[in-house]
């Protein structure tokens, strides 16, 4: 993953979420997937689809539940052949909007916090939130940093006799030539 800004953003204003659960589908188009591949440092993101469920828990508190699948193509670190990977992940997070940080958390939020991946809610500076961001974070963490084609094994080069000789042995040889 690079330091470049995310090429796929799906912004939601959390302050305008209705009561109950809101479901959001993520499905970047071909051009966005190409930009995601460049951003993630892979050859291709062949498919990415996700479903996010946002639930308002109380004043400024939100439960984020996401599931996604992705098909990624990378180059084998040994043979440079294409390696195809299928990734499936599900995760949960709690968020709290900074401007509402001191608002009391509801009973439902306390119950859901026990099921979230983090103990504490992540603090958001604004109610404007990119719901695709956490999915892309999880995707980048799930990508194999050293993909290998089936059966590919690294064979170190054979050492020659000259390479095994110690540098001190070479110096000793110089001393005796005088």
pLDDT higher than 60, residue 169: yes
- Per-residue pLDDT at 19: 84
- Per-residue pLDDT at 87: 97
pLDDT in tens, 75-126: 999 889 999 999 999 999 999 998 765 555 555 445 544 444 556 899 999 9
Q: Decide: 7 and 38 in contact? Cβ < 8 Å.
A: yes
pLDDT higher than 80, residue 11: yes
pLDDT higher than 70, residue 3: no
pLDDT in tens, 23-72: 999 999 999 999 999 999 999 999 999 999 999 988 789 999 999 999 99
- Per-residue pLDDT at 174: 75
Greatest Cα pair distance, the chain, in angstroms, is 91
């Amino acid at each position: 993953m690079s330091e470049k800004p995310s090429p796929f953003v799906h912004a939601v204003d959390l302050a305008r979420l209705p009561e109950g659960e809101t479901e959001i589908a993520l499905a970047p188009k071909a051009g966005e997937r190409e930009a995601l591949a460049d951003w993630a440092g892979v050859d291709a993101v062949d498919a990415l689809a996700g479903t996010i469920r946002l639930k308002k828990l109380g004043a400024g508190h939100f439960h984020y539940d996401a599931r996604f699948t992705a098909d990624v193509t990378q180059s084998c670190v040994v043979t440079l052949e294409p390696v195809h990977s299928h990734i499936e992940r599900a995760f949960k997070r709690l968020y709290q909007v900074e401007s509402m940080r001191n608002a009391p958390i509801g009973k439902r939020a306390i119950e859901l916090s026990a099921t979230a991946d983090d103990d504490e809610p992540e603090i958001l500076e604004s109610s404007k939130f990119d719901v695709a961001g956490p999915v892309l974070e999880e995707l980048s963490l799930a990508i194999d940093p050293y993909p290998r084609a089936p059966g590919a094994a690294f064979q170190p080069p054979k050492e020659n006799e000259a390479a095994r000789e110690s540098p001190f042995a070479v110096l000793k040889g110089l001393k005796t030539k005088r």
